[in-house]
Amino acid sequence: MTGYGIGTQDNGAVKYTVELKSLNSKFLELNLRLPKAVSEKEFTLRTESSKLIERGKVNMTVSVEYVDQTAKASTINAKLLGQYYKQLKDISQELGEQGGNFFEMALNMPEVVSSKEEAIDEAEGKVLMEAFYRAVDHFTQFRLDEGNTLKGDLETRVNLILSYLTEVEAVEGNRIPLIRERIGHYLEETVGKEKVDMNRFEQEIIFYIDKLDITEEKVRLRSHCNYFITALNGKDSSGKKLGFISQEMGREINTLGSKANDANIQQIVVRMKEELEKVKEQLLNVL
């Protein structure tokens, strides 16, 4: 499920900003961009994300701003820099080399410049996590808003399938008499009416019509549709459950079409399949 959320928190000395962006994915794929100083918090952030976000291809970006910009500034060892500079200059004179930027060379020597970027303390870690939780809250609300839109769309499409099922029931009344009449005409044309054993004919008709009966498929399809809507309105995460129910709906729709032996019903079944495919596409966005 797509989502977006941003959260900020500061304590007067430091300000953290956490940004979350996600795309659809069956599992949680978390990509973190963290300042070096907070790298030790990566495990905690991943653990909390797996609990609160659940799934999606999520990009998390953490940025930090210090009120005192020199707080994390690098320091220059002036004494060591002077020693390197003098040595480089003396060696150059001994070798008879002219020119050369000795200051820049000395500045790049080991341990001349040292960074103060160290692991954050407990207070700063708390600011980071508060920013993270705020971002997750906004992220979750974004998903809820999108989920409500998806819920309405899914419910509409399943209700459409139910309405198509009512259409099937409205036209299937003429199906059996037409099948009986068609078989009777075929027998009369091929073997002659006087040669037809009516008792045997009735037995075969009953057997054949039983094979074409779609009562069970209609009952099960209606039950699956109603169960789908019930699960859709439940409070728990139901994406997988809805996926399973949609598979059962598809199975009944396919059987309905194969047993219909009626052009009108098969056209309605095609419309059912169209709506069900749209339902399955949308379910990829449901947790």
- How do residues 111-129 score in pLDDT, each as one tens digit? 776 655 556 788 889 999 9
Going by pLDDT thresholds of 50, 70 and 90, the confidence category of residue 219 is: very high
Identity of the residue numbered 178? L
If asked whether residues 186 and 272 sit together in one domain, one would say yes
Whether the CB-CB separation of 282 and 238 falls below 8 Å is answered with no
Whether the CB-CB separation of 94 and 49 falls below 8 Å is answered with no
Highest mean pLDDT among 119-123, 158-162, 194-198, 255-259: 158-162
Residues spanned by the domain of 218: 145-283
25-77 per-position pLDDT tens digit: 778 899 999 988 888 899 999 999 999 988 889 999 999 888 765 555 567 77
Residue 207 burial (CB < 10 Å; 0-12/13-18/19+)?
exposed
User: How far does Cα 182 stand from its chain's mean position?
Assistant: 51
DSSP 1-13: --EEEEEEEE-SS
If asked whether residues 55 and 160 sit together in one domain, one would say no
Nearest alpha-carbon partner for 272 in 168, 150, 153: 168
If asked whether residues 133 and 44 sit together in one domain, one would say yes
Tokens 């169209």: give the residue. 274
If asked whether residues 98 and 175 sit together in one domain, one would say no
